[in-house]
Structure 1
Amino acid sequence: MTDDADNYAPVATECEARDLPVRGELPRELNGTLFRNGPNPQFPSGHHWFLGDGMIHAFTLRDGRAAYRNRWVRTPKFLAERQAGRALGGALFREGGLANTNILAHAGRLLALEEAHAPIEIDPVSLETIGPRPLGGAGPVTAHPKIDAETGEMWFFGYSAGGPLSAAMRFGAVDRAGAVTALGRFDAPYCSMVHDFILTERHAVFPIMPLAGSLVRAMAGGLPFAWQPELGGHIGVMRRGGGAESLRWFRAETGYVFHVMNAWEEDGRLLADVMRYEEPPLFPRADGQPTDPARTRARLCRWRIDPEGGTDAFTQDVLDDLSGEFPRVDDRRAGRPYRHGWFVASRGDPFDT
């Protein structure tokens, strides 16, 4: 997939517009800033479109007026390429990473995140890069921390915590003031690309699905991650405050989850709504063969897990046959029962712009 066509084309410049034209009238009571982050290569390259440099966009509404500003995140990779005047290789594992996947605010800081490095703090007004901000000294974390809507505590995790493509995972939490409230690690059944996880009022849940990492394969010139359904799926359920010692593993039907819509607790059970694939897109099997396109469409599914039950199985129901991705809920209902959720739906080619 190219990163330079149609709606995926990169923005070539940094700019700001302090008073945008408005058609109609903006409510003067609607004030705030919408931040957006995404891959945006500063130089043309033949690399995967996920590997573009992070660019932050800020859309601000204030007193009936609208403004816009954008800035690239000044990672070490970005600065090295700017000095070289061209794209450089090894983007994913370069020091400092890409900071191109997510952006969130917590404990008075605005953080740009990606899959395999520490968050980078961004000035929320100027969008200038402040620098790396490791969460509790935990090292690399993924792009989808979860914030408890009631307590303000933010939980995070990272995989390959014991070295490249290792099965070890780290987890942690910081309170609304930024103080560390939990920090630990555990060994998953195998190295998995765990892009997102689940947080409820009392539990953190880690889906270990067989999009598996192999250092041997990577060193032989293959892709670090590949689809290996024979490894099976596993769901790790950990009590918040219980540490890794409280982790309990459940067997999952083979499939893959990139993103979670929401999760909550009800009558002693965990309920989680996830966008589930039968097979993951974008990645091949371990032998290099592609996955089945007919099975690489995500559908909204609900998991029902009994953390104290007498079995390692749980139920799974498809809530909607419509193919889609990137689910969201009102952040005020995160980790709690909710009525409304949204996701981007596809009626044809999932990558049709």
Structure 2
Amino acid sequence: MTSTVLQGNFGPVASELTVTELPVTGHIPEQLDGRYLRNGPNPVLPPNPRTYNWFLGSGMVHGVRIRGGRAEWYRNRFVRDGFVASALGEQRPAGPRHAGTDFSANTNVLGHAGRTLALVEGGSLPYELTEELDTVGACDFGGTLRGGYTAHPKIDPRTGELHAVSYYWAAGSTVQYTVVGLDGRVRRTVDIPVGGSPMMHDFSLTENYVVLYDLPVTFDFELAAKAAPKLLRKPVEFLLSQFIGRRPVPGRIAERVNRKGGGALPYAWNPDHPARVGVLPRNGSVADLHWFEVEACYVFHALNAYEQGEELVLDVVRHPQMFATDRLTPNEGGTTLDRWTIDLSAGKLREDRFSEVHQEFPRVDERLLGSRHRYGYTIGSDGGVPGLELNSLCKHDLLTGDTRVHSFGKGHGAGEFVFVPTGAEEDAGVLMGMVYDASEDRSDLVLLDAQTLDTAARIHLPTRVPYGFHGNWMPS
């Protein structure tokens, strides 16, 4: 049986291309000057079709350079860790490793402090890329990062600093909050006790607080032990159970496990792990951390968060569970767009539902990250049918409760769309993302007017872009 994430447009592309002067239908706003980049899994060698997990494919970054109303180039490049470099007959790029980890970052790509960074989570380091998407090497922010990193850091629009909450299976019962300054070096590190070993894919940031989502997807000892020889699996499982989520795994053991790898994602739904949301003052210590219970669920992505008097307002895409029945894909039923409101003075959390539409990949105008927002954008399913393939863009008005939908049509599949401002108003700008056309087996970079949701331009790419994860607009 072939994994669903190796079929159709989930399947990898083999060639790295450079194509200049791309054809365009419509009009690209003249003020756009920069690069749209998007990262995603793209196995460099054929994986086992029965066991392949979408989260474990080699990273490939796709990019389009836009300037003066033109699409100057399209490039796609593998992120070269040691495995990818070896498969391509090249030397591994120079750079540090964290505890023996060396993984082709496949989840996100953003720009900060003059660097273009491909990102992944779980203990690996970011990989720095050139302007043309060639791999420079792993990045530990000039030796200042103590540990691995996350796939979902957030740039504070007020300060330009890069905030992150990172998890790592061998870190014991802690996750790590870090702040990278404008000089590209870590200036603040806080180890936060969580209990257990949860997968924290995302977090939220407000003007004064860091918000953590400690939810019941945790490290699975049994699944991890399957990487060991059959006779050693039970002893390895017992050994891991004595450390994971309790105290740090000894460095030599962790490094040996990281270098060997297991070919599986060792995280699963754990109904015994409490579901809760943590609130940490940005300049406080763990003594100031407070937890609030929430109904069991999983959150891959938060739309935004902000403060409202003594309350914190959190908008999140909620999954009913994750990696409970399907260990290979994030596909456990319909999602919803929910609003969680934390009353800091009363110590309570209230859960409300904004939209029942099956949707994911929420984005907001990044100028308002951590501040009150009105609009949010997600990728949804026309028929509301749960699944991985999504074919419409939803514009949510969180003030009026209205949702407008732009459908890309039958036979089309959309990835995450990002908001790029072109004016001062919150929705004055374009929404930009990849759309796959099955009839042509090719992808376009589509630009929508964020106010009307009309199509402004379609930049026709020379190949298809497999469904992937996250990207960003990087202005020149």
Same fold, TM exceeding 0.5? Answer: yes
Secondary structure in 1 aligned to 2:88? helix
Matches within 5 A, 1:1-353: 1-46=3-48, 47-66=52-71, 67-83=73-89, 95-116=101-122, 117-124=124-131, 126-135=132-141, 136-160=144-168, 163=170, 166-215=172-221, 218-219=224-225, 224-280=266-322, 283-284=323-324, 296-307=333-344, 309-311=345-347, 313-346=348-381, 347-352=384-389
Q: Is the partner of 1:319 in helix, strand or coil? A: strand
Equivalent pairs: percent with the same residue?
37
Q: Which runs of 5+ in 2 are unaligned?
A: 91-98, 227-232, 238-264, 390-412, 414-476
Using a 3 Å threshold, how does the CA distance of structure 1 residues 243 and 297 change in structure 2: closer, same or farther? Answer: same
Report the Cα offset of residue 7 of structure 1. Answer: 1.8
Give the Cα separation in 2 of the matches to 1:42 and 1:160: 25
SS in 1 for 2:25: coil
User: TM-score of the superposition, structure 2-length normalised?
Assistant: 0.66
- Closer/same/farther in 2, CA of residues 21 and 304 from structure 1, 3 Å limit: same
Q: Which amino acid aligns with 1:270?
A: L
On the 8 A contact 2:53/2:328 being kept in 1, the answer is no
The range that moved more, 296-305 or 197-206, is 296-305
- 1:277-324 per-residue CA deviation (whole Å, 9 max, x = no partner) reads 1212xx126xx9999x8x6322111111133x243x311101111111
Alignment CA distance shift 1:97-1:277 (3 Å) = same
Q: Deviations over 1:142-178 (max 9, x none)?
A: 20011111111211121136x26x3221111012232
Deviation at 1:58, TM superposition (A): 1.2
CA distance, structure 1, for counterparts of residue 40 and residue 294 of structure 2: 31
Query: Contact 2:148–2:168 at 8 Å: present in 1 too?
Result: no
Q: State the alpha-carbon separation in 2 of the partners of residues 254 and 149 from structure 1.
A: 32
The whole-number CA distance in structure 2 between the counterparts of 1:217 and 1:16 is 40
Per-residue CA distance 1:63-95 (angstroms, 9 max, x = gap):
2221211111111121133349xxxxxxxx973
Task: Output the amino acid matched with 2:320.
Answer: E
The 1:238/1:83 distance shift into structure 2, 3 A limit, reads same
Are the counterparts in 2 of residues 37 and 54 from structure 1 also a CA contact under 8 Å? yes
Give me the whole-angstrom Cα distance separating, in 2, the residues matched to 1:289 and 1:137: 31
Any idea what SS the aligned residue of 2:66 has?
strand
Secondary structure of 2:83 counterpart: helix
Shift of 1:216: 5.5
TM-score, normalised with respect to structure 1 = 0.87
The CA deviation at 1:13 is 0.7
Q: Which amino acid aligns with 1:265?
A: E
Q: How many residues align?
A: 334
Q: For residues 182 and 289 of structure 1, do their structure 2 counterparts lie closer, same or farther at Cα, with a shift above 3 Å needed?
A: closer
| Secondary structure, counterpart of 1:7 in structure 2 | helix
